[in-house]
Amino acid sequence: MSKDYLRDNISIATAREFLERIQERQWGEDWHQWVKAFICPWGSDGVYYLEMTDATIHHIPAAQLDCVVESNGAGDSFIGASLAGLSSGIAPLHLVLKTACEVATFKCSQIGFKLPADKLLKWQPRLQHSENDDKVDGA
């Protein structure tokens, strides 16, 4: 759920407020089998998410840039990296979202988006990482 949508259409000021409202709602017994997490990217604050296995709100802060060159496309970069990691079916959610934050932050450091080989070699294994694998660089 995007922060702009929540602020403009539902009058929710923070990601934590949104996720707390999700926690409070009575959804019925079966919904946990269909919904694994609620993910709420929050721009330069990083990402907040409610993982249904432990019903806990988590926060992964975004790295702060000294100079933001261009933020257009950062959300798309976050979503793309998240989908790449989630589609593997084995990468832990926290690692997928941490990596997605790094990808989006890196996007903000340049006009357009060109991913250098060293970043690809760093991030790609994380998005295909299993919780049973050895610790991946930077995780």
Residue 91 within any structural domain of the chain: yes
Taking only the tens place, the pLDDT of each residue in 26-79 is 666 677 778 889 999 999 999 999 998 888 999 999 999 999 999 999 999 999
Domain interval for residue 39 = 3-127
What mean pLDDT do residues 103-129 have? 86
Q: How confident is the model at residue 131 (pLDDT cuts 50, 70, 90)?
A: low
User: Average pLDDT of the chain?
Assistant: 86
Question: Quick one: which of 67, 75, 35 has its CA closest to 53?
Answer: 35
Residue 65 within any structural domain of the chain: yes
Residue 137 within any structural domain of the chain: no
Residue 139 within any structural domain of the chain: no
The count of domains in the chain is 1
pTM higher than 0.75 = yes
- Convert 103-134 to b/e letters by CB count within 10 Å (16 or more is b): bbbbbbeeeebeeeeeeeeebeebbebeeeee
Tell me the CATH number at 113.
Answer: 3.40.1190.20
